[in-house]
Amino acid sequence: MNVITKCIFTTFALLILGLSSFVVSAQSPLLKEQIETIVTGKKATVGVAVWGPDDLEPLLLNPFEKFPMQSVFKLHLAMLVLHQVDQGKLSLNQSVTVNRAAVLQNTWAPIMKEYQGDEFAVPLQQLLQYSVSHSDNVACDLLFELVGGPQALHAYIQSLGVKEVAVVANEAQMHADDQVQYQNWTSMKAVAQLLKKFEQKKQLSETSQALLWKWMVETTTGPQRLKGLLPVGTIVAHKTGTSGIRAGKTAATNDAGVIMLPDGRPLLVAVFVKDSAESERINEAIIAQVAQAAYQFELKKISAVSPD
Indicate the Cα dihedral angle 167, 172, 173, 177, nearest 10°. Answer: 130
Closest by alpha carbon to 252, among 239, 236, 235, 234?
239
- Which among 20, 21, 28, 71 is annotated as catalytic? 71
3-class SS string, 94-119: CEEEEECCCCCCCCCCCHHHHCCCCE
Q: Which residues contact 127 (CB under 8 A, 6 or more apart)?
A: 96, 111, 139, 142, 143
Nearest to 288 by CA among 303, 275, 273: 273
- Other C-beta atoms closer than 10 Å to the C-beta of 44 total 18
CA R_g for the chain: 21
Query: Is 71 a residue of the active site?
Result: yes
The helix/strand/coil state of 272 is strand
* Cα dist from 119 to 103, 112, 116, 130, 259, whole Å: 11, 10, 8, 18, 39
DSSP state of 231: P
C-alpha span between 8 and 21 (Å, rounded): 20
> Phi and psi dihedrals of 59, rounded to 5?
-80, 130
Residues with catalytic function: 71
